[in-house]
Amino acid sequence: MLNPLIDPFGRKIKYVRISVTDRCDLRCTYCMPEGFKDYREPDNWLKFDEIIRLTGILSQLGTQRIRLTGGEPLLRKNLPDLVAGIASQGIQDISLSTNATRLPRFAQALKQAGLKRVNISLDSLKRDRVEKICGRDVLPQVIAGIDAALEAGLGPVKLNMVVMPGTNDDEIEDMFNFCHDRGLVFRMIETMPMGHTAIEAGHVSLQPILENLKKNHGLIPTIVEMGGGPARYWQTPDGKGQVGVITPISEHFCETCNRVRLAVDGTIYLCLGQEEKIEMRDLLRAHADDETIIAALRQGIHLKPERHEFKESPEKIVRFMSQTGG
């Protein structure tokens, strides 16, 4: 094990989110606008062997968790092969963010390859609302994907709900009960202002919503490790219901940020809400030796900012979430 990657503020980088495609089969209003065409060319995507090699180097530098994201990562062909390759590099905690429309087909193979758990996006339990938010009538497919993940033993299964004013903020109790009944972790996320579509979706502070859930269900804080990400968790007194909140606007979590994002084109974004980055593709394509890649990572990590500025400058980031990696 080499000396870990540590940013200028003493934060060890232990968690890397890897986007394997910027394509998606849905068009969620806060992520990718209708008619979006500014995709990366597939020739510029990192190849699986390049991702696996970089993952191995990051593992030596202290990375403990990898999350595969997109776009929709299950659109990338042969994704279980990538999971198996990452697992071979000593990464024990490999997870996936997905809209679940393709999980019935791939859940078992992903589990066998070494995937541990999944985060599934679902913003409403009303079929017409899902169609309006996602651009497709997919609620039955998503629920089938949830069932497939549970059957395959991918756990915990976390259900992510982006809470939007006047769109779905009246469904909190229904979503809590849905998750509790199925043994899912219910996670609420504040809209992040990345691109004009996300800004237009509006922002709801989760603090009063969480207080209502605490009151209605007797929620208590939990210290159980739930994946090393930015969510804070509570549980019902019987321990059977879990609620997480991700609050980048109303209560940011920058002081504990231990993660970076590798986009599909090999760009490492050091902060979701800033533009600092490290370009890795050319080094990997040139077959640079490990020492050169490690030096680039160490030099680049010193660009990681102390915090994002979503609240102060909500229109600062012009790229969409799908371009950065979820």
Residue 2 within any structural domain of the chain: no
Residue 131 within any structural domain of the chain: yes
Q: At what angle do helices 139-152 and 103-113 cross, to 10 degrees?
A: 20
Q: Return the pLDDT at 205.
A: 87
Residue 117 within any structural domain of the chain: yes
Residue 6 within any structural domain of the chain: no
Residue 9 within any structural domain of the chain: no
pTM reported for the whole predicted model: 0.91
Identify the CATH number of the domain in which residue 169 sits: 3.20.20.70
Q: pLDDT digit of tens for each residue in the chain (326 aa)? A: 799 999 999 999 999 999 999 999 998 888 876 666 667 888 999 999 999 999 999 999 999 999 999 999 999 999 999 999 999 999 989 999 999 999 999 999 999 999 999 999 999 999 999 999 999 999 999 999 999 999 999 999 999 999 999 999 999 999 999 999 999 999 999 986 544 444 455 668 899 999 999 999 999 998 676 666 788 999 999 888 999 999 877 666 688 889 999 999 999 999 887 889 999 999 999 999 999 999 999 999 999 998 866 554 545 555 555 556 65
Q: Return the pLDDT at 196.
A: 47
* Domains held by the chain: number: 1
Q: Return the pLDDT at 278.
A: 96
Structural domain boundaries, residue 58: 15-324
Spatial separation of the C-alpha atoms in residues 300 and 28, rounded to whole Å: 32
Annotate 121-165 with DSSP letters as a single string.
E---SSHHHHHHHHSS--HHHHHHHHHHHHHHT--SEEEEEEE-T
Residue 1 within any structural domain of the chain: no
Residue 138 within any structural domain of the chain: yes
Name all contacts of 135-143 with Cβ < 8 Å and 24+ positions apart: 135/26, 135/27, 135/28, 135/29, 135/34, 136/25, 136/26, 136/27, 138/26, 138/99, 138/101, 141/100, 141/101, 141/104, 142/99, 142/100, 142/101
Q: Return the pLDDT at 197.
A: 47
